[in-house]
Every structure is written in C-alpha cells, then in structure tokens.
Amino acid sequence: MSDLDKNRYAPLLKEKMSPESYLKLTALDNLKLFEFVGEYVELCQPDSVYMCDDSDEDAEYLRNTALELKEEKKLAKEGHTIHYDGFFDQGRAPGATKNLVPKDRVARMPGLQPLEREEGLAEVLGILKGIMKGKQAVVKLSCEGPTHSPFSVACAQISDSFYVCHSEELLYRRGYEHFKSMEDKDKFFRFVHSAGKLDENGNSVDLDKRRIYQDLEDYIVFSANNQYAGNSVGLKKHSMRLAINLSGREGWLCEHMFVMSILDDKRGRKTHFCGAFPSACGKTSTAMLPGEKIIGDDIAYFRNINGEFRAVNVENGIFGIIKDVNAEDDPLIFKTLMTPGKEIIFSNVLTGPDNQPYWLGMGVDIPKEGWNFSGPWHEGKTDAKGNPISFAHSNARYTLRLWYLENIDAAYEDKNGVNVQGIIYGGRDSDTSVPIEEAPDWKSGILVKACTLESETTSATIGKEGVLAPQPMANLDFISYPIGDYIANNIRFVQGIKKAPRIYTVNYFLKGKDGEFLTSKLAKKVWLHWAERRIHGEANAHRAPLGFIPVYEDLREMFREYLEEDFSREVYDELFKFRVDPWIAKIHRAIRFYERMAPDCPEEYFNVWHSLAHKLEMLKGKYGPSIAPGAYSE
C-alpha cells in the first residue's frame, strides 16, 4: 500500500474513480495533487471522476463525451463541432471576477477587482458545495509553455464540463508526463470549474451565482455557474492572472503579448517581436501578417536565459474572436477554418440549414434561418425586450491548435524560447500617436510608451464611440498585484540582459480631415519592417520629442517593396507630425489615472510624467501646435 492509499481522501477517490483512473492519479506520487482532487471531489460531490493522462485515447474520450452530452454538436465538415453558451454567458464577467488578496492589500489594488481573501473563499466554496451532483468530473493536467523547460508552469483542473476539457486539449500541451518528472511537485496552478445547474439546452442557469475568483495567495482559481471559455477554461486568462502575480514575486514577466517572427527574405534573416494591443487595436492582424511567421497570438512568458531576453508562447492553440475573419482580411485563418479534417470548435455562431457555421463579417451570404445561442433563429427574431437578435454573437469564437496554421514558426516549440529583439505596444487613436515610433531606451519605453497606452472605444463597446480609455501595457484587466510594483518589475527585468529589446509604439488608426484612415490595413507591414531594419542598423530616423520616427525616403522605398504602393510626402508629413496638444492632454490623463489607480507608484514615475508634460508645454511655445517630421531638435 502506497502512502497515498493511507491518505484520508483515498476511500472517497477509490469510490468515485475507476481502478484505471485511480491508478493514473496515484502513479504520479504527488500528495498535493492527490489532496487537491480529494478536497474538491468531497466539496463538489460529482457522481464519478475521470483522470486523464497524455494518451490519445483520453483525448478521444473527452471529444466523444462532449458530443454525447450535447455540450458540442458535429458540423458538416469532418472534425468541426459547435458549442453554444447561454444567452447571457458569452463574454468575460468583470462584475463576477475577483482577485482574492489579504485584507491589507485590498487598498493597494484599486480598480483591479480585489476582494478580501477569507470573505471570497467563504462565498465561493459555499457556492461550489454539491455543485457537481449528478455529473462526472474530469481531472486534466496541462502545461503552460513547452513541457520540461525553464518556462513551464504545470496546471491541474477539475471540471464537470467536457467542452471545457476538450477546449484545453486543443489550447494547451498535455501535462501528465510533465507532472511525473517535476522536481518541485508542490508547484502548480490549480483550477476548479463547474457549469452548475443546466437548462434544457445544456446552458448554465444560476448566473446570479456566477463567480470567477482567483486566490492569488494559494494559486488556485474557482469558477462556477458559467460555460463561456474565457470564464471556464482555467488556463486562459485566469491562469494569466496567477502567472502575472507569480512573475512579480519571482522577477520574470507574464505579458498579454503575441510572439512573432519578422522575415527579411533578401538577407535571410528572422527577427523576433512581441506585441501588446488592447482589444480591437490590431493585435491578431499584426501577428498574422502575410509573409511573416506566428509563434503565439495572446500570452507570453519572458525569462532571462543566459543574458538573453527570451519568450515562449504559453499556449498551444488559439481561442480567437471569429468576427470579421474572412478570405480578404485574414486569409490564413479563414482557410484553416474552412478546411475539413482539422479539430475545431466554433462557439456562438449560426448553424445554418446546411450544418455549416456562419459568423459576423464572414464575407459570404448568410442563411435566413438556423440555430444559434438563442435557440431556433430566423431573420427578424427579437429578444424579450424587442431587440433584434443577431444571427451570430459579436464575441463568437473559434478554438483550434496553433500548428494547423500554415504560417506557424517551428520555434514555438523551442524549450528555451526565442530571443526577442523588439517589443511593440499598439493603441488606437485617430488624432494623437504616429504610426510607429521607437523609444530612446527601455525605461523610457515602459514609462512613456507602455504606461500611457490608450485605446478609443469603438462601436463594439457599449457607450459612446471614440472615447479614449487608459490601457497601460494593454494588460489592465489582468494585472493582479499593485500597478506600481508591476511597472517596476517590467523596468527591472532587463537588468542582466545583454541587449534589451527596443520598444516601439504603433497606431494604425490615424485619420485625415475627411475622417478616413490615412493608410491601408496592410501598411502595418511597412511599419514593422522599418522597426526590424532599425534593430539591425539599416534604417534612418528623425529625432522626435518622444523618440525616433522613420525618414520619408526609407518609407517610400519600403511601400514600393512590400506593398507596391506609392507613398506621398504629403501623407508622410500628416502621419508623422508631432501633435503637441493631444499629447499634453494624453500625459495629463495618464497622471490622473495613476493618481487614482496606483497612488503608491514611486514618486520617480510621477516626476517623469510631470516633467514630460512641462517639456511639451515648452515645445508648444517654440514650435506651435505641431512639429513637422525632421524639424525637432533638442
């Protein structure tokens, strides 16, 4: 008899698990994992428990059971399935999402959804009590980042949703064998999820008891009464909050960034960039630029490996917004989604009479009837308040394995990550930031570029359109320790790095006097290749008040090379002039934001921002409301 067989949870687990599942669990010889499973089986009370290993047979069991339980349904193309969340469960639930922290830390985290830990635990554990009755629970082990690497974070989830477990099978690397060989058996993230009581359509009913609580002290997430993957797949944004918190304690970084490779075919060169963009600011379209390579589209871990700034994609798949994915704007993803034989989960789109998926902005004719998140759907259908019900949700998603993409870079499997040479922060405004600018140095890039990042609200946001909202580091929704400490960790990280990446800001959304965008969607390819050439000392630049901007002659040549377009001096001057008044207003908004949200920021940071505002006021007196490219001198 092993020591685990003597554990107090052993009789319960032997009762709930088949001999095969129990043996899989005990074979790991991990007391913390064993007691995690036992504790939450005892609390949640599922009828039975299935333990997954890394076998294809267990992956097949998850897929088939999700279909048998009607959590997913087969679509016309082989390998494609559809999942529907409830009518009011199709996006992140900020009001129900809390970070559980000690009482003395609550006041240091204004606006970061803090909740006193003991209070939050008592509430959510009460909600979870008996919540899995009548269901089978699944224990699935995964790994964030490549397995057996310096970046690896082991994860264990228990859930009563086979859709959730199937999603994790597509999105993350299998982790059973990783658990077997872990040196520190106590160090892993834990997740407890239940969809709760279900209606006749298999959707969560008790949305008033929907909770997503992250215990940042014990690195465990509790998610109850929801199915939308952004709330239920623990390894997605919940794990990101845990990792941000852990990285702050240990001195590495977890960022809301893509990882990609910019290719210079003429020189046979590949340069790795990472980029952080708020929603609707061009993150996916940048990571998926034609002619370049993608390593990851959402979350990156950064570590100092032998003095190099190295990054991995945390994930093994994509949980992407499907709206506006079409053959013209996103040809690579669209082609993948249309290909039979690939295992893809669609969610909250229309299933047409032909059993094919249809979504907003797909670029094809849409059937007049079918089935969607509201049940049977027909054109003109309204909700209980008389509002039209769209055929597909604006936050509808697709879930697929990353290596399905034709433009995947094999480096995404490198256990030591890739050496990052450029960091991009992308915002969205129509009248302030230039299309691309290089920061003078790392610290300035963080404080002046990343910390002042903003994004204009769009028609996809409830409320007034065109309002500038603070988006520091494009990570505000997921920062899980005091913002001042988070900024300091970013600045401090490059200590010991032989060559810190250059920091760039981009803005694809400048408009002319007629209200139209000044460049095409693909102009971003030129901006990124200019940054790539700067890194290798092959592009010139003008000094600007906040950094360095391209010279006209370089861009004119690059527009011809990459886009076969003419690029006029008139457009260049309009794009790259420094707009003094909007920048003064932007810095003052940032100061007010940090006074409110991060009052414990070091005085040094506030001095930088106040000094910059003063400098810009002086420049206004010298140059007027705008500074032409090349006209500025210090």
Domains defined for the chain, CATH in brackets: 4-69+89-251 (3.40.449.10), 255-315+418-624 (3.90.228.20), 319-404 (2.170.8.10)
pLDDT value of position 462: 40
Predicted confidence (pLDDT) per residue in 610-626, tens digit: 999 999 999 999 999 99
Predicted confidence (pLDDT) per residue in 279-336, tens digit: 778 888 899 898 999 999 999 999 999 999 999 999 999 998 899 899 987 888 999 9
Predicted confidence (pLDDT) per residue in 187-204, tens digit: 999 999 999 999 988 899
**Partners of 410 in the β-ladder:** none
State how far Cα 401 lies from the chain centre: 15
Predicted confidence (pLDDT) per residue in 514-566, tens digit: 888 888 888 999 999 999 999 999 999 999 999 999 999 999 999 999 999 99
The answer to whether residue 458 scores a pLDDT higher than 80 is: no
Predicted confidence (pLDDT) per residue in 211-257, tens digit: 999 999 999 999 999 999 889 998 888 999 999 999 999 999 999 99
Q: Which of 52, 143, 254, 281 is catalytic?
A: 281
Q: Cα dist. 14→1, 37, 97, 100, 302 in Å? A: 13, 12, 34, 33, 41
Biggest alpha carbon–alpha carbon distance for the chain = 83
Rounded average pLDDT over 65-73: 97
- Ramachandran angles phi, psi of 413, nearest 5°: -100, 0
Cα 626 to Cα 634: distance, rounded to the nearest angstrom? 16
Three-class DSSP category at 69: coil
Predicted confidence (pLDDT) per residue in 571-612, tens digit: 999 999 999 999 999 999 999 999 999 988 999 999 999 999
pLDDT value of position 84: 95
Count Cβ atoms within 10 A of the Cβ of residue 307 and give its class: 0-12 exposed, 13-18 middle, 19 or more buried.
exposed
At residue 86 the predicted structure's pLDDT band, cuts being 50, 70 and 90, is confident
Cα 449 to Cα 433: distance, rounded to the nearest angstrom? 10
The answer to whether residue 634 scores a pLDDT higher than 90 is: no
- Ramachandran angles phi, psi of 97, nearest 5°: -105, 125
pLDDT value of position 1: 64
Cα 32 to Cα 182: distance, rounded to the nearest angstrom? 13
Predicted confidence (pLDDT) per residue in 461-510, tens digit: 444 556 678 889 999 989 999 999 999 999 999 999 999 999 999 999 88
Closest alpha carbon to 80 in 290, 406, 299, 354: 354
The answer to whether residue 82 scores a pLDDT higher than 70 is: yes
Residue 633 neighbours by CB distance under 10 Å = 6
What DSSP character marks residue 234?
Answer: T
Rounded average pLDDT over 264-268: 91
Query: What residues have CB less than 8 Å from 576, skipping those under 6 apart?
Result: 434, 435, 542, 544, 549, 550, 629
Active site residue 52: no
Predicted confidence (pLDDT) per residue in 370-427, tens digit: 999 999 999 999 998 999 999 999 999 999 999 999 999 999 999 999 999 999 999 8
Query: What predicted TM-score, i.e. pTM, was given to this entire model?
Result: 0.93
437 conformational bin, left if phi > 0, alpha if psi -120 to 50, beta if neither: beta
Residue 522 neighbours by CB distance under 10 Å = 14
Give the DSSP H or E segment for 575: helix 569-576
